[in-house]
Each structure stands twice: as C-alpha cells, then as structure tokens.
Structure 1
C-alpha cells in the first residue's frame, strides 16, 4: 500500500492513510530555502505530538521530542545537523514496534524510541521554512492479531 502526495502546502496537516504500524515508511522529499531557520515534521494525534522532528539551522542540531497535554518531554539533540540550507533532502522515517528509525539522504541519522504508542498517530504535519515536493506513505500493515499481540509485549 502506497500513497504519494505531491507539492505539499506549508503549513499542512496530512491524514496518514492506513495509520502508523511497524514497517510503515514515511518518505519526505524537498528542500530548504537559503534563509531557512528551522522546520518541523510531526507525527500527531489530536493536539498532541508523538514525534517532533525539528531541524534548527540557527542552533546547528535537530531536536527530537514529544508533546503531550500541553507539556514537552526531554529533547534529544545529538547527531548535529547533516542538512544544509538551500539544498535538497530526503528524510525517511521507518516505524518499528519500539522506535522510529530516521534516515537523512540515505544515511542513518537517529532512532527515536516511542514515547507514545505508534498506533495513536493519525496525522503528519509540516511547517515553517521548508518546501516539500513529495511525501510517500509506504508499507503494508501486519495482520491485526500479530499487531495486537506484539503491542502487548512492547507497551
């Protein structure tokens, strides 16, 4: 199952067709303007954020976090900022049972351990200094009985 969205308006909140599940890949292609300061890619549900991915060119790192009931969690900032202003990029998020794996331009960047169960995520939001040419939602969900059994073991 694959869905492609081209030329995404900024800001945008996109319903994730079929939801999040282990093996789901979200591939984001685009570029940043030359004067970019920061942008955000968020996996959301309701008004909360399960995974906030926030490259900050002015600070030289990428913040990863979550936002629940009006409060931010502990930021992760290791790994520097392997993106450059004014350049094209491809960011790939791969959902696993216990984490997101994040690839930047074909290289592993980080893992973000789920702080919120992945099955709650319903939307992917995009904002600030970014131009998105394409977002692909890829993958086939595992059988329901397998997913439920595995979730009980993880959460």
Structure 2
C-alpha cells in the first residue's frame, strides 16, 4: 500500500473559493461533504480556471429543488457565456442530510457520483488541465472539501506528529451491501497497536491491541454500521482511552500502550467504498 496524499479544507464557509494544489490531475478526485439546507432552492460546485469573477468554469454542478422536484444541471462557462445545459432529472439528494459528492477526473470526462452511486459522466468542454480553482455557493453547509488521489482499500496514511492526546481521525465511507467486515487499525510502522474490527455476519465488534503480541480481545454485539449505507466514523484519542464513534454511537477501549505518540500510521481494511480520511 502506498501512503496517501490529499488537500483538505475543513468547515469551509459559504461562499467558498480556493485554489487546488497543482491544478486538476487525471485520476484524482474532488470530494465535497456536507448537507443541503432544509429550505434550499439550489446550490452549486464549480471547477474553474482562475478565481476572478469572470473566470471560465469547466464544470458547473448545480442541484435544484423546485416544486417538490429535485434535478441537477451541469454546464460550463467560457468566453463570458454559458454553454448548453445538461440535465439529470432522476436525482436524489435529500435536504438536511449528509451527502458526499465525488468528482473523479478522467482523460475524457468528469465521473460524478453522489453517496457512492454514479450519477453521470460529463464530457470535458474545457481541458481539465486548465482548472486550478474550486468554488461552492448558495444554500449548503460544508464539513469538508478534499482534493485527493482516489481512495483505495486497503488504505494507509501517515499521522503527522504521531497520535497525540485529543487527536481525532475522521473517516467517511459506504459499506458494500454484502460487506463481511470493516477494520480500522493504528500502529507504528513496525507493528499494529490498536484494532477496531466489525464482523457483520456474526454481529460482532472486536477491539484489541498489541505491542509484541495480541492481548485479550474485548468483544461486543453492538454493531453500529448498516450495510449499503453511508457512515461517518470518528476515532478519538484521550489520555485514558480510544473512543470509536460510528454514526454518533460509541465504543471505548482503555489504553494498553505506553507511548501513544509513537503511533504514526492509520489503515483501513474491508468491504467498503472509502471516500475520505482526515488524520
């Protein structure tokens, strides 16, 4: 597994605009995570060529809610005029609920998915190599905007500065409908230190730790994941324990490791789509 690189904007305020490091690259994804306001009429995400007010827009992704119907309009803007709209009517993105928008850059198209389901391909009308800025506006609350390599499971990333007290790791993903297990592990580069593993067919959560060898497992039947659904996991490290919060429900595990700051690697395994990890 290769270590993972990403650019993260945390809790960005609307209207939002900022540069994408080194511009768009083939094989990388823009991830937008947030919730649409309850009475929203529309919002938009733009991938654009520059940050000035009349910049060309290579992709305008514009969900709209009108007369009880939800649909999305895609377009581009160049030479001070809009091109022809492309519309998608069979579009489900509920207001006031978590959504994850993923825009994957390929050579010919933007592959757009919402909550893990492919929505449509948008053929490039402006070369993606000219895009260097993202903007988001109108009636939406944002948790994260991320620009990253496509997340592949098994997944590995470094924890900068090691695992310090009050450190939080946040994971967004989607369990496969036939998922058998998911596992999160924290360790030094020479061995695992903490493992949180869900076995869905057995309805079992297993927590454990090791330095030279595995210690006694702690087990519970309280599995907080649901197959085929989005999840948000927060792993918190405080002085006495780890807390693993899955969709606002938590398991705890008291520390059995002396030097938490030596833990500097985080990994994900299992049957899932992985969208974003913040360490």
SS in 2 for 1:8: coil
Corresponding position of 2:27: 23
Corresponding position of 1:93: 103
Offset at 1:42?
0.2
CA distance in 2, matches of 1:33, 1:73: 28
Which of these residues, 9, 13, 30, is aligned with residue 9 of structure 1?
Answer: 13
CA distance in 1, matches of 2:25, 2:89: 26
Offset at 1:79?
4.1
Matched, 1:50 2:62: no
TM-score by length of structure 2 reads 0.49
SS in 2 for 1:119: helix
Q: Which runs of 4+ in 1 moved over 6 A?
A: none
Determine if contact 2:70/2:89 at 8 Å carries over to the other structure: no
Offset at 1:18?
2.1
TM-score by length of structure 1 reads 0.86
CA distance in 2, matches of 1:83, 1:139: 25
Offset at 1:107?
0.4
Corresponding position of 2:252: none
C-alpha distance after superposition, 1:47-102 (max 9, x if no partner):
11000000001152100000011111110112432101111100000000110001
* Alignment RMSD: 1.3
RCO comparison, higher one (Cα < 8 Å, 6+): 1
Corresponding position of 1:152: none
CA distance in 2, matches of 1:35, 1:76: 24
Determine if contact 1:57/1:81 at 8 Å carries over to the other structure: no
Determine if contact 1:28/1:136 at 8 Å carries over to the other structure: yes
Determine if contact 1:36/1:85 at 8 Å carries over to the other structure: yes
Determine if contact 1:79/1:110 at 8 Å carries over to the other structure: no
Q: Which runs of 5+ in 2 are unaligned?
A: 151-279
Matched, 1:40 2:44: yes
Select the structure of larger CA radius of gyration: 2
Determine if contact 1:57/1:85 at 8 Å carries over to the other structure: no
CA distance in 2, matches of 1:81, 1:130: 17
